[in-house]
Amino acid sequence: MNLTDFLCTECGLCCDGSLFSDVELSSAKEISGLEVLGLNVEDGDGSAPGLLLQPCNARVGKRCGIYQHRPKCCRTFECRLLKDVRSGSISAANARQTIATVTSELGGLRDLLGPNHSDLPLKEQYLEVIDSLEERENPTELMRRMRTLEQTIKKTFLE
C-alpha cells in the first residue's frame, strides 16, 4: 500500500484550509479545467495565473473528489510529515498518531471558532472571530490554541 493512500487520506489538512489559504495554479488551461469542475478559482496576483481557494470544494471528507484531475500543485505537494515517513525519520504509526493529535486539536479550535466561517481557511476564520469579539470578551483561550496549533502545523507539515 502506498503511503499517501493511508496517511494523506487520514489527514487532508493541505486541502481543508488548515495549511494554506490558497494554492497557486500553473496555467490558464489548468484554471479553466478546474472551473469547469466547479472549483473556487480566483485570479492570480502576478506570480501565478490563478489561485485555488481553500478549503477546496472538491474535498469529499478528507479525500480529493477530483483526484485524477487535481492541479499540478496538488500532485507535487508533499508535507513534511510525509517526507519524514519516506525518509525513515518517523514511522508510519507515529505519523498516524501525529495526524490524529493535530486533527483533535484542530477540532477543539474549530469548536471555539464556531460554524459561521467554516467556508474560510483556518487563519481567516480565526481573524474573523477575533475581529468580531466585543471588548469585554476574553479571547485568551482561543488565541493560545491558535498559536499552539500554528506552531505545530508549521513544524510538522510545512518546514
Range of weakest confidence among 31-35, 76-80, 115-119, 120-124? 115-119
Question: Above 80 in pLDDT, residue 117?
Answer: no
Cell numbers at 77, concatenated? 505537494
Determine contact, residues 158/19, Cβ cutoff 8 Å. Answer: yes
Question: Above 80 in pLDDT, residue 41?
Answer: yes
Give me the mean pLDDT over the 143-159 stretch. Answer: 94
Q: Count of CB atoms within 10 A of residue 153's CB?
A: 20
pTM: 0.86
122-142 pLDDT, tens digit per residue, is 999 999 998 888 766 778 889
Determine contact, residues 50/31, Cβ cutoff 8 Å. Answer: yes
* Angle of helix 92-113 versus helix 140-153 axis, rounded to 10: 150
Give me the mean pLDDT over the 44-56 stretch. Answer: 85
